[in-house]
Amino acid sequence: MGTVILGTGSCLPDKIVTNDDIAKIVDTSDEWIRTRTGIRTRRVCGQDEQTYNLATRAARRAIAAAGIGVEEIGLIVVATISSHTLMPSSACLVQKELGATKAFAYDINAACSGFLFGIDLAHKYVQADHGMKVLVVGAENLSSRLNWSDRNTCILFGDGAGAAVVGYRDGASGYLGANLRSDGSLWELLYMYAPKSSNPDITHEDHPGTYIIMEGKEVFKHAVKAMEDAIHGVLAREGIGLDAVKLLVPHQANIRILNKLAERLQMPADDVVINVSEYGNTSAASIPIALDEAVRAGRIQEGDVILLCSFGGGFTWGATLIKW
Ligand code: ACO
């Protein structure tokens, strides 16, 4: 189809928070967190670090890897559920920081699936205009959206950003297809309210705060099944067998979800990119960070078929197939 990822980049904040650090805040332990989630550490934004700062750093690396100038970028899409400002979008702040004056820019919200939804959007723009280059960023400052007294959630998430420049190359296979899904009827299993209304006539008795709230066990069950179905769906549609897939780059929710998914797909552990132990769950940033690390480690070579898959709040989920 000709849509290709021209370059990737990522950025993690310097500050490392260990499970022992969290055990000083809530009633938990390193042992519990490691065995239930596989997470050992996560990165957390510093005092003056915001979502758009991480997004901009990841974007600069992706643009450098793509070998293009910022003036060539026609569109910036930032996938996030933790923008520093609701208005302007994180994408507009990234545009300002980069000096990408030719681009228009906006955010999308598809929770942990945001990067896959963003890449699909970019693909459509690029197919409509072969000269278009789209910067897609997944960026989160989730530590600012956690209830740090809720041990069900505060152990799971981390901050970070990942980016990709999407463009067109004549004759390339590139983006093969995606199977993207949503089911809003299940929203109450994983959600985060918007800030309280400032309308004085509105009471806020039922507002739990602008924090992530989750039914962990239910999310777990839905996540494994949904990602497995999405993967089989996109493979069947494109007529490609799982044995042709070199690498699976899944959303890094937790190790037990990833192991269960690999087991159901009968994929060897070595063919699955996993970094959740270091970074925790970084929502929209998790897939582009894992993708960038796999590219830089030489795990993805030209011609390789790779699968990306996600599951997140909404619910939103999907699988994307790319020939590198
Ligand atoms: N430390 C110690 N004990 C804890 C903690 C904690 N951090 N959290 C919960 N517990 C306790 C519970 O209170 C409960 O105690 P009880 O038996 O006395 O009531 C016990 O541990 C078991 O709790 P469960 O919720 O049943 O624990 P479970 O084994 O399901 O593990 C977990 C919880 C890790 C959240 C799991 O359900 C999970 O991984 N779910 C997937 C959620 C996820 O990944 N969400 C990310 C967002 S969505 C996405 O990205 C896909």
**Geometric angle at alpha carbon 296, from 294 and 299, rounded to 5°:** 45
The one-letter code for the residue type at 135 is L
Among 173, 190, 212, the domain boundary falls at 173
Same domain, 180 and 169: no
Cα–Cα separations (whole angstroms), residue 51 to 48, 158, 194, 251 = 10, 12, 17, 19
Cα–Cα separations (whole angstroms), residue 299 to 10, 236, 292, 315 = 16, 25, 10, 30
User: How far out from the chain centre does Cα 194 lie?
Assistant: 20
Distance 283 CA to ligand 1 centre (A): 17
**pLDDT at residue 208 above 90?**
no
Q: Quickly state the pLDDT bin for 52 (edges 50, 70, 90).
A: very high
Cα–Cα separations (whole angstroms), residue 73 to 132, 164, 167 = 7, 12, 9
Average pLDDT over residues 212-224: 95
Q: Is 281 a catalytic residue?
A: yes
Question: What's the full length of the chain, in residues?
Answer: 324
Q: Is 232 a catalytic residue?
A: no
Strand residue runs (E) in 12-113? 16-18, 41-43, 75-79, 104-108
3-state percent breakdown (helix, strand, coil) of the chain, nearest 5 = 40, 25, 35
**pLDDT at residue 200 above 90?**
no
Q: What is the pLDDT of residues 53-77, one digit of tens each?
A: 999 999 999 999 999 999 999 999 9
Average pLDDT over residues 13-17: 98
Same domain, 20 and 165: yes
Q: Quickly state the pLDDT bin for 14 (edges 50, 70, 90).
A: very high
Among 123, 148, 173, the domain boundary falls at 173
Predicted local distance difference test score (pLDDT) of residue 152: 95
Q: What is the dihedral of CA 170, 171, 173, 177, to 10 degrees?
A: 60
Active-site choice (11, 45, 92, 112): 112
Distance 235 CA to ligand 1 centre (A): 32
Q: Does residue 287's CB lie within 6 angstroms of at least one atom of ligand 1?
A: no
Q: Which domain holds residue 288?
A: 175-323
Q: Does residue 217's CB lie within 6 angstroms of at least one atom of ligand 1?
A: yes
pLDDT over 90 for what percent of the chain? 94
Q: Which residues pair with 177 in a beta bridge?
A: 321
Same domain, 21 and 159: yes
**pLDDT at residue 197 above 90?**
no
Same domain, 111 and 233: no
> Is the pTM of the predicted complex or chain greater than 0.75?
yes
Q: What CATH number does residue 117 fall under?
A: 3.40.47.10
Q: Does residue 155's CB lie within 6 angstroms of at least one atom of ligand 1?
A: yes
Same domain, 141 and 208: no
Predicted local distance difference test score (pLDDT) of residue 46: 95
Q: Does residue 216's CB lie within 6 angstroms of at least one atom of ligand 1?
A: yes
Find the radius of gyration of the CA atoms of the chain. Answer: 19
Same domain, 238 and 302: yes
The residue whose CB lies within 8 Å of the most ligand 1 atoms, and thus the one to mutate among 18, 30, 217, is: 217
Average pLDDT over residues 3-15: 98
Same domain, 155 and 9: yes
Q: What is the pLDDT of residues 98-136, one digit of tens each?
A: 999 999 999 999 999 999 999 999 999 999 999 999 999
Average pLDDT over residues 288-305: 97
Predicted local distance difference test score (pLDDT) of residue 84: 96
Q: Is 199 a catalytic residue?
A: no
User: How far out from the chain centre does Cα 135 lie?
Assistant: 14
Any idea what DSSP says for residue 186? G
Establish whether the linkage from the previous residue to 315 is cis, with ω within 30° of 0: yes
Q: Does residue 125's CB lie within 6 angstroms of at least one atom of ligand 1?
A: no
Cα–Cα separations (whole angstroms), residue 31 to 36, 126, 244 = 8, 47, 37
Q: Which atom of ligand 1 is nearest to the CA of 112?
A: 50
